[in-house]
Every structure is written in structure tokens, then in C-alpha cells.
Chains A and B, each alone.
Chain A
Amino acid sequence: MAQYLVLIYNDEAALDAAREEDPRAVTAEHGRFAAQHGAALRGGNALEPSSTATSIRPDGAGGFTVTDAPFAEAKEGLGGYYVIEAADLDEAVDIAKQVPTLGGGVEVRPVMVLD
């Protein structure tokens, strides 16, 4: 088995609107996903909106540049993640397809095992 990080990208405006309409609906969808794929889940959480993100880049001279905003700017923002376990990429993709997203999608990345 291998571990994959599933990064959840949402359209934050759509997410806000959905939360305004029914704050429990989004959580409930993730609850359903977690119940269905509990065996594969190794962790995960929601993240505060990308407006709360801080990016830190080495400046190349031994110091750092700390800036407001997420590392990569996109229409969609990183909204949360799961760590899942799957036999191969096809299985990971099958699970990731069922992660609820709002106006966005997910990225799947193998976790490098360091030992």
C-alpha cells in the first residue's frame, strides 16, 4: 500500500455561499465521504480560507521573505486535505473522485516514504 495526499481546492466564493445557505451541508458531505472511505483514511482536515495564509520563501541570501497570501495564486484555494492509503494510483484516484469539492477539484500526490 502507498499513501497519497489529497489536496482539496474549492472556489472560496462558492464555499462561502454554501456555508451561508446551510453551514452543515458541506460538513455533512465530508462526513458521508469519510464514512464511505474510512478504511482508506489516514488523516485530514479543513483549512482556514486562503486569505489567512502566509508564504515564506528563502531569499537566497540566508534570510526569508514572508508574504501575505497562499504560495500559488489560483482561482481556487486550498481548502483542506486528506491523507489516504491505496494500493496504486488508480485506486487513489477513484477515492479522490468522491471527495466533495465546490467549484474546484482535488490534486493527488504520492507521499514520499522516508525511513
Chain B
Amino acid sequence: MTTLTLAKALNEGLRRSMEDDAKVLLMGEDVGKLGGVFRVTDGLQKDFGEDRVIDTPLAESGIIGTAIGLALRGYRPICEIQFDGFVFPAADQIITQLAKMPLRSLGTLKLPVVVRIPCGGGIGAVEHHSESPEVYFTHTAGLRVVACSNPADAYTMIQDAVRCDDPIIFFEPKRRYWDKAEVDLAAPGLALDRARVVRPGRDVTLVAYGPMVKTCLEAAAAAEEDGRDIEVIDLRSLNPLDAEVLTESVTRTGRCVVAHEAPVFTGFGAEIAARVTERCFYHLEAPVLRVGGFSTPYPPSRLEEHYLPDLDRVLDAVDRSFAY
């Protein structure tokens, strides 16, 4: 066991992936000497060289487009998008090309490209540095979309993502980059497409992913003092969605609350609510409730504490669930 921050765990995972497979490449803005603005790629260029850790021109469409070409040639590129809000110049390449080319080739082409995106708010940043763009990608067939939430998982998830033959959007919760935890560097980890019950409980199922997992665990700990036993699920994979874990849990608890940072309106919580309702309708004691951002752009940082669902807002939703 080693104690690592989430950023360092990703760094170790990337290092393992590059050691294991000479075809794995890293590419992005400032990933080399600087080690990325969050230092996730720190030291990798020094050890693997400029041909494998590629500082790219400042052009996101270029990063994804050339990664597609490299993948067609047998490489496994891992692309870093510097911040969530800057993935949109690359959206065309991701949505019209990366996601659809394998199908267009009737399965003869594989595009094992990982697009790493630091996501979410809570770090006091300026505009476009705190967004949660997951549903643009979960809505795009052909992409796998995953979100890590803690160091141990991040370490194995990034390696599994690199090994996967499908294109993957890999979200990293930037306000959790500096969180530390024990990581077993030899442990295999849970399969990439599975959700995890991170805290078992009887009374209500709290569903989260990425940065909100920690908030939900804190909410569950606080609720314990009031005698409520909350189960917390870390989805890990948004597409595909592990509906089995959800069904099993909500069938038991009868209540479900979903929390994410992105706006609630047509957010990922809507998908969870619909799935859970279809699968657990006769077990539900209350409608599935959603907690998340408002139907507004991410606000200036002096207001972000109001925008981001905190422990109180999560518990408020839990209370509302019990009020039915």
C-alpha cells in the first residue's frame, strides 16, 4: 500500500500503461516539461521521451484528430484536454469521427483513444474551468464515458481505459486531485464498466460519480448521526451504465437520490431517475430525486458554493425523499 493523491495515482497509472505497451502515447498542451497544469503527467516526458509524451500545438481539434490518425496506425493515444470548457473545439472530432468511425468501418477499425478531461468546479477558477460536460458525451453513441472519484480507483481505471479498444472519455474530478488515500499498486481493480457500492446502507440509495462521491459519503456520515443509514453508489461508468447495481440497491432501500454538479435539467440524473423508475417502480417509496447545478452557466467563483450541491443540499433531498 502506498499513499497517493488522486493526481499522483493517475500519474502512476499512466506510467504503468506506458511501460506495459510501447504503443501508448500521451499528447496534449503542456503535458511535457510542465507535467500538465495539474501535474498529472509530471516526469513522464523525462522518462519516456518527447516522441511518446507529446507537447502539442494549442489546438484541441488537432489533438483529437491526430490521435485518431495515430490510433489508425496502431498507437494508443491518451489525450489530455486541459480543462473541461476547452473540449468543445474538439467536440467535432470526438462526436463525428472518434465515436463513429469504428461502426462506419463495420468493426474493422478500432480507435483505442482515451480523452482525459479534468472536470467540475470548486477550485475558485475563472469561466470555462469548472464545467461538467458529461452528458454531451454520454449522449454520443460509440463513446465510453467514465469518471474516477478516488486515488485507488483512478489508478486502475486509467490503465483499464488505456487497454480498452473503444474510445473513452475519462473524467477526472479536479477538486479531488489533491485528495490522498491508500493505493494498492498490485490490486487488479473493479472492471471499468461496473458501479461500486462505496458505502452500504438500508434506508436510501445515494447515486453519484466523480467529485460528488466524496460529498455524498460526507452526507451519509452526517446522516448516520440522525439515525439514517444511507447507501452510496459510485457509478464510475456513465456509459455503459451499471443498472444492475442500481436495481439491486434501490429494490432494497426503496428510495433513490442522484447528485451531480452538472445542471439537473436533462442532466445525467434524469437518466438514472428513468432507469430506476422503470426497474424498481413497485419498490419505490418516493420518486427518484435529483440534486445538482442550476439551469444556468457555471457561475463566477464567488457564487460557486451556492451552485455546487453540498452536503446540506444532498441531505435536504434525502429528507424530501422521506417526506413522501
Query: Is B truly associated with A?
Result: no
Interface, chain B (partner A; CB < 8 A) = none
